[in-house]
Amino acid sequence: MRVSRLYLDQPLSTGEEIGLDARGRHYVQQVLRLRVGQTLTLFNGDGNDYSAELLSAGRRDCRVRVGPVTRTEPSSPLRLRLAIGISRGERMDFAIQKSVELGVHAITPLHTERSLVQLEGERLKKRLEHWRGVVVSACEQSGRARIPRLRTPVPLDDWLSTHPQGLLLFHGAERSLADLPPPGEDLSLLIGPEGGLSEAERGRALAAGFSAVLLGPRILRTETAPLAALAAIQVLWGDLR
């Protein structure tokens, strides 16, 4: 049976009554269609799931009573950090959503030479808000009780300066993931946008300490590549072993 989960950006304490914000009211009433007395699961990113009972379901006032912790999400043996070139529309949404489902620890969108989407000012603010909604929804659906960090987009070189090593996904590489030794507790994964990274960008990543790896004989789209790579990494070294 599917468990109804709702993320709340606030402290949660057993026994307290809280009012839901507009998003929470819509989710409980219009999406989950819960009735007074029914239960759901709350989480706020602290790693715990809390039981809750719906006390009222008015149009402007929807209240729940927080119950005890029902589950604590175990920590992953591998902290995966994904940096991916910004792609257009649903492609980026899909990559973010599925990366969260696959257990990524942090996501950094990158401005690269071949990025077709330029974000700044109000447009950047709205897109970040939208992506954070994608992250939260993916956590609600997948059962994650910790929210992955979604970082503000940065130029590739700025990101490389703070992440001196990791894996660069490149279809022209000579080694596969299976050829590599276990990475330890942290691993950064770099993936380009539509069209991939330029030759110069790949060179700078390699000079920064990244290792180029390929995923089989086929060239994967920018929204497919992180899914395949993260799944393979989790099977080899992470929480899918």
The pLDDT tens digits for 220-239 are: 888 999 999 999 999 999 99
> For the chain, how are helix, strand and coil distributed in percent, rounded to 5?
30, 25, 40
CATH 2.40.240.20 domain position(s) in the chain: 5-72
pLDDT of residue 1: 46
Residue 12's pLDDT band (boundaries 50, 70, 90)? very high
Span 92-119, mean pLDDT?
91
Q: What is the pLDDT of residues 181-206, one digit of tens each?
A: 999 899 999 999 988 999 999 999 99
pLDDT, tens digit (0-9, with 9 covering 90-100), for 125-162: 899 999 999 999 999 999 999 999 999 999 999 999 99
Taking the C-alpha atoms of residue 175 and residue 155, their distance in angstroms, rounded to an integer, is 27
Give tens-digit pLDDT for 159-172: 999 987 899 999 99
Q: What is the 3-state secondary structure of 60-128? A: CCEEEEEEEEEEECCCCCCEEEEEEECCCHHHHHHHHHHHHHCCCCEEEEEECCCCCCCCCHHHHHHHH
Positions of CATH 3.40.1280.10 in the chain: 79-237
pLDDT at residue 241, as a whole number: 82
- Is the pTM for the entire model greater than 0.85? yes
pLDDT reading at 176 higher than 50: yes
Residue 3: the pLDDT is 65
Domain 79-237 has CATH 3.40.1280.10: yes
User: Strand pairing of 186-191 and 79-85?
Assistant: parallel
Do 211 and 229 touch, CB atoms closer than 8 A? no
| Architecture of the domain defined by 5-72 | Beta Barrel (2.40)
Provide φ and ψ at 188, rounded to 5°: -100, 140
